[in-house]
Amino acid sequence: MIVLTGATGGLGSQVLRYLLILVPPTDITVSLHNPAGLSPSIASSGITVKQGDYADPASLDSAFTGADKLLLISYPSIAHELRVRHHVNAIDAARRVGVKHIYYTSLAFGYGTTPESCAEVMQAHLDTEKYLKESGLKYTIIREGIYNESYPLYFGFFDPSKDTEVYIPNDGPIAWAARPDLGEGTAKLLALPPSDTRYDNTTLLFSGPQANLLSLHQLAPLISRILGRPVNVHIVSEDEYVRRHKDESGSNVRGTEDFLRKWATTFEAMKRGETGIVDPTLQEVLGRPLKTMEESLREMLTAQGEGEAIKQYAK
Ligand SMILES: NC(=O)c1ccc[n+]([C@@H]2O[C@H](COP(=O)([O-])OP(=O)(O)OC[C@H]3O[C@@H](n4cnc5c(N)ncnc54)[C@H](OP(=O)(O)O)[C@@H]3O)[C@@H](O)[C@H]2O)c1
């Protein structure tokens, strides 16, 4: 039995979609914060649906019981301690109920660098990775690449319906990866038989391909071409970055000074080269070329509802 958390989310829903092609639905359970968020067609596909809240250990015990493998999708927040607490709850529950192997979706900052990352958003992942390695359980840590689909968050909270000037505190190379590719690659790892131990007790980097290695300055001409108008990137001080993006109304978490100062560390990490490592593992696992950033941008910039990306990643 494979239990998936986060299967209503952007990454988890892609993992589930591909896992359903690889294993019988009766071998899949989803542990969901909000089971009503699952599409009716998936809910009736033969999988088991359970309620599991990272904040409620008893619900996790119940949802993870019977699992050989657990996919632990990271809690979507920049709140370091809360995020780690939720992940620790899940790892402890898995251990209590006898899960054999945990797959954890970490993030692609600082792979192989020392110290591992200066990005605030990476710290909860590093703590979780350490806790998981010390848990005694079999693990596979997947440093999931920076999503093509999340580019507005890095590109100065870009709103393609009106923005032409983009203000960021630093820049650096990013090996962008498409979320469906990451989902498919993660599903393929989950579906491997226990006799295939290649990825046991390892930390993998699922990056995008060399062709997707693009700084934010290099994204600008691609976006300009698709939108048919100029888009210019400006490197400004952290204070100016905060001032330009601050939203005093408090209606939006990404507009708070606290969030913006933490988020600015992401750009420092990019400048250090933390997001610029290209690794062949994802392409090898998929056995086909990966989706390009340009393809994703064309899809997103010519579709309705681009603003949804900002709302989703601002949590
Ligand atoms: N690699 C990248 O570039 C990148 C970019 C942005 C974010 N991320 C992070 O990567 C992770 C997965 O990304 P994503 O795009 O799939 O995020 P997402 O779309 O926000 O999905 C998050 C999932 O977590 C679930 N969840 C929320 N609160 C929970 C709780 N208390 N207990 C159990 N589950 C809970 C959500 O369920 P409900 O919908 O029912 O609440 C949802 O299924 C998140 O941590 C996200 O912040 C990565």
| AA identity, residue 223 | I
Reported as a single tens digit per residue, the pLDDT across 158-203 is 999 999 999 999 999 999 999 999 999 999 999 999 999 999 999 9
Q: CA-to-CA distance for 101 and 123, rounded, in angstroms?
A: 23
pLDDT at position 249, please? Answer: 73
Q: How large is the average pLDDT for residues 77-85?
A: 95
User: What DSSP string runs through 220-259?
Assistant: HHHHHHHHTS--EEEE--HHHHHHHH--TT---GGGSHHH
pLDDT at 315 over 90: no
pLDDT at 310 over 60: no
pLDDT at position 311, please? Answer: 52
Domain segments of the chain as ranges: 2-147+177-207
Reported as a single tens digit per residue, the pLDDT across 36-74 is 999 999 999 999 999 999 999 999 999 999 999 999 999
Q: CA-to-CA distance for 24 and 1, rounded, in angstroms?
A: 10
Decide: 9 in ligand 1 pocket, CB within 6 A: yes
pLDDT at 251 over 90: no
Q: CA-to-CA distance for 181 and 11, rounded, in angstroms?
A: 10
Q: How large is the average pLDDT for residues 93-120?
A: 95
pLDDT at position 303, please? Answer: 74
Q: How large is the average pLDDT for residues 234-255?
A: 86
Q: How large is the average pLDDT for residues 225-230?
A: 96
Q: CA-to-CA distance for 270 and 217, rounded, in angstroms?
A: 12
Q: What percent of the chain has pLDDT over 90?
A: 91
pLDDT at position 187, please? Answer: 98
Contact 266, 123 (CB under 8 A): no
Considering only 78-87, 90-99, 301-310, which range has the smallest mean pLDDT?
301-310
Contact 73, 6 (CB under 8 A): yes
Taking CA atoms, 238 is separated from 142, 235, 267, in Å, by: 31, 9, 10
**SS in 3 state form for 53-121?**
CCCCHHHHHHHHCCCCEEEEECCCCCCHHHHHHHHHHHHHHHHHCCCCEEEEEEECCCCCCCCCCCCHH
pLDDT at 309 over 90: no
Contact 97, 64 (CB under 8 A): yes
Decide: 208 in ligand 1 pocket, CB within 6 A: no
pLDDT at 270 over 60: yes
Decide: 12 in ligand 1 pocket, CB within 6 A: yes
Q: How large is the average pLDDT for residues 133-138?
A: 97
Mention the CATH class of domain 2-147+177-207: alpha beta
Q: pLDDT tier at 88 (50, 70, 90 boundaries)?
A: very high
- Ligand 1 atom 25, closest CA: 6
Q: pLDDT tier at 255 (50, 70, 90 boundaries)?
A: confident
Q: How large is the average pLDDT for residues 123-138?
A: 98
pLDDT at 248 over 90: no
pLDDT at position 254, please? Answer: 73
Q: Which tokens go with 167?
A: 């203000």
pLDDT at 76 over 80: yes
Q: How large is the average pLDDT for residues 123-143?
A: 98
Strand partners, 248: none
Q: Which residue has the tokens 């033969």?
A: 46
Helix or strand holding residue 200 (H, E): none
pLDDT at 287 over 70: yes
Pairing of strands 213-214, 174-175: antiparallel
Dmax of the chain from CA atoms? 56
Q: Which of 14, 18, 34 to mutate to test the pocket of ligand 1 (most atoms within 8 A of CB)?
A: 34
Q: Which of 29, 56, 59, 74 to mutate to test the pocket of ligand 1 (most atoms within 8 A of CB)?
A: 74
pLDDT at 126 over 80: yes
Q: Backbone phi, then psi, for 261, in 5-degree steps?
A: -70, -40
Q: Which of 15, 32, 33 to mutate to test the pocket of ligand 1 (most atoms within 8 A of CB)?
A: 33
Dist. CA 56 → ligand 1 center (Å): 17
Secondary structure letter of residue 149 according to DSSP: G
pLDDT at position 247, please? Answer: 85
pLDDT at 306 over 90: no
pLDDT at position 252, please? Answer: 67
Burial class (CB in 10 A: 0-12, 13-18, 19+), 197: exposed
Q: CA-to-CA distance for 71 and 106, rounded, in angstroms?
A: 11
